[in-house]
Amino acid sequence: MTTEMQIAALFNFATIIESLLGLHAYRHRNTPGALPLAGIFLAAALWTVTVTLDLHPQKLALVLERAFHGIMYASITAICSSWLVFCLRITGRIAKLPRFYVACVAVVAAGTALLVATNEAHHLFWVWTQHNGRPHLHAEWGYWLFLGYGYLHILGGIGLLVVCLCEAPAANWRRCLLIVLAGSFPLTVNFASHLEMLADMTFDPTPFGLLAGICLLWWALFRMRILELIPMAQKLIWDQVQVGALVLDTKFRVLDSNPLARSMFQGLSLQSCGHLARETMPDWPQLSEVLALTPPVCREIRVKRPDALRYWDVRVNIIKGWRGQPSGYVLLVTDVTQRHQTEAAREELVGKLGAALAQVKTLSGLLPMCSSCKKIRDSAGEWQNLELYLRQHTDAKLTHGLCPQCARHIFPGAADKLKI
């Protein structure tokens, strides 16, 4: 097997891998960054096909060869644009791709394909000249403009990732660095080929650099699950909000959490991203009872801690995809232990006051009293002795004695002797 055939076989293998990865990414199209990633893979597969066919130009008709050149350049445009959009999405810079940008990319790709296919008529991209008796391709301004367009998109995406790499927590910087390397490989190889560092090669080596970048993206896709994690940009409000926030997917894997949630839930950390909640969180049984209800829902749960029993108010909201189907859950957890303690203290105080009031009996209002016998008429209309009425309506205990006047009246002689 000749070297050319070996290269063609390698390109065919790369085409199959890139196509499968593109289909896999498209299956996760509801995830931020999945659609542009699918565009990168599928456009790379199309480009690899055209490069493979370009290895055998003698087998292609002239018109077909020009058409394939147009498709090749259009696929490069799609790769560069999809790369920038992918970086914008996974770093959280944009929530939704503007249609105007999509239309501009489509126009640029179609225009590039048309100009490349008709290059022999206007020579805006390249011109074939003779150099030392051999045909030599001389690039024109259209080619350099196209190259600048591609480099600007690739470098712009890498710049966004570098900024995100500086801001990302420890759990995310490895994914970020891997994606930076995936974009840098094809760019470096292509730049080296234009500086004639790889002049001994008889074919464009950029697809090999692209294949290396595809392998890194494959690792990030299947090993680090970049399409199963939310955008890596940590917003200031997310980190400083006074409510514990936890994001789960439909399989109850941890997608993200803010610092307050990590301080509330035992076992939850930055390294928990991508892991099942039940494997990392001892408090999962209480949370699963709330998640078993139909969101949105709010429930109060009790969790045991070494210092005391804690009370949490858990609110569950569902995350819906662009088609309305559930794609995850957001749990907002508020510690209401202090409120419970305040309510318990208030109830205890109310109970004590009620018990004290229950021991106090007072008389108020007008009491109908007989002016002769001093009996009192009760609410039923019965006349009662004053002693009996006081005993029934107050907590006073009565004792009997004689005042000096009555003692002299009843016992005149004894009163004088006793000097009452």
Helices (H), 91-169: 99-117, 119-122, 141-167
DSSP 148-184: HHHHHHHHHHHHHHHHHHHHS-HHHHHHHHHHHHHHH
Structure tokens at 396: 């006073």
d(CA 128, CA 136): 6
Q: At what angle do helices 62-90 and 141-167 cross, to 10 degrees?
A: 20
Confidence of residue 207 (pLDDT cuts 50, 70, 90): confident
What pLDDT shows up at residue 172?
A: 62
Residue written as token pair 């018990």: 355
What pLDDT is attached to residue 197? 46
Measured between alpha carbons, how far is 385 from 370 in angstroms, rounded to an integer? Answer: 10
Q: Is the pLDDT of residue 268 over 80?
A: yes
**pLDDT for res 230:** 45
- Mean pLDDT to the nearest integer, 390-395: 76
- The separation between CA 163 and the C-alpha centre of its own chain, rounded to angstroms, equals 19
**What integer pLDDT is reported at residue 291 of this predicted model?**
86
Report the SS3 class of residue 258: coil
Claim: this prediction has a pTM higher than 0.85 = no
Give the domain ranges of the chain: 3-228, 236-340, 376-418
Measuring CA to CA, which residue among 231, 316, 237 is closest to residue 273? Answer: 231
Residue 198: pLDDT band (50, 70, 90) is very low
What percentage of the chain exceeds 90 in pLDDT?
Answer: 3
Q: Is 49 helix (H, G, I), strand (E, B) or coil?
A: helix
Which region, left, alpha or beta, applies to residue 107 given φ > 0 means left and ψ of -120 to 50 means alpha?
alpha
pLDDT digits (tens, 9 = 90+) for 317-362: 888 765 677 878 889 999 888 888 899 899 999 988 888 776 666 6
The predicted model gives 119-145 an average pLDDT of 74
Q: Cα(213)–Cα(185) distance, rounded to whole angstroms?
A: 6
> Does 280 have pLDDT greater than 80?
yes
Mean pLDDT over the full length of the chain = 78
Residues 164 and 291: their CA atoms lie apart, in Å, by 32
How many residues are there in the chain? 420
Distance separating alpha carbons of residues 109 and 43, to the nearest angstrom: 11
Q: At what angle do helices 170-194 and 206-222 cross, to 10 degrees?
A: 170
Q: Which of 58-67, 113-122, 217-226, 362-371 has the lowest mean pLDDT?
A: 58-67
Please enumerate in sequence order all residues whose Cβ is within 8 A of that of 19, keeping only pairs 6 or more positions apart, or say none.
41, 42, 45
Residue type, 257: S
More confident of the two residues 47 and 236: 47
- Between 147 and 229, whose confidence is greater? 147
What is the distance between the alpha carbons of residues 260 and 246, in angstroms, rounded to a whole number?
A: 10
Looking at domain 236-340, its CATH class is alpha beta
Instruction: Check: CB of residue 209 under 8 Å from CB of residue 185.
Output: yes
Q: Selecting from 3.60.15.10, 3.40.640.10, 1.20.1070.10, 1.10.540.10, what CATH number does the domain 3-228 have? A: 1.20.1070.10
Q: How far apart are CA 140 and CA 142, in angstroms?
A: 6
Residue 119 has pLDDT above 60, yes or no: yes
CA nearest to 206, candidates 217, 195, 220: 195
Burial call 212-245: b when 16+ CB within 10 Å, e when fewer: bbbebbbebbeebebbbbbbbbbeeeeeeeeebb
Quick check: 180 and 162 in contact, CB under 8 A? yes
**332 vs 202, which has greater pLDDT?**
332
Residue 411 has pLDDT above 80, yes or no: no
- With cut-offs at 50, 70 and 90, classify the pLDDT of residue 136: low
Model confidence over 209-237: pLDDT tens digits?
888 888 888 887 777 666 654 444 445 56
**Identity of residue 186:** P
Best-predicted range by mean pLDDT (61-70, 118-127, 247-256): 247-256
Residue 346: the pLDDT is: 92
